[in-house]
């Protein structure tokens, strides 16, 4: 697995964790930021055919 793939998988993982944390904290601003990051990371993964696993939680 290449460095780009690993970095993108980590980015998706971190973004999913940030979304979950924002939901738990009921922080709408952080939720919007985290969701934007997740959407962008998932878009890149799809574009490059990288499997980032199923959505958690």
Per residue in 2-51, pLDDT (tens digit) is 899 999 999 999 999 999 999 999 999 999 999 999 999 999 999 999 99
Q: Assign 57 a pLDDT band (cuts: 50, 70, 90).
A: very low
For 32: left if phi > 0, alpha if psi spans -120 to 50, otherwise beta; the answer is alpha
- Integer Cα distance of 49 and 17 in angstroms: 22
CA nearest to 21, candidates 9, 38, 4, 7: 38
What integer pLDDT is reported at residue 1 of this predicted model?
63
Q: Assign 55 a pLDDT band (cuts: 50, 70, 90).
A: low
Structure tokens at 38: 């997740």
CB of 40 closer than 8 Å to CB of 11: no
CA nearest to 12, candidates 47, 39, 31: 39
- Confidence check: pLDDT of 54 > 80: no
């Amino acid at each position: 697995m290449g460095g780009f793939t690993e970095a993108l998988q980590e980015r998706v993982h971190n973004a999913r964790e940030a979304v979950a944390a924002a939901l738990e904290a009921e922080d709408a601003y952080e939720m919007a930021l985290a969701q934007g990051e997740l959407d962008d990371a998932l878009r890149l993964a799809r574009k490059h055919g990288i499997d980032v696993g199923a959505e958690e939680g």
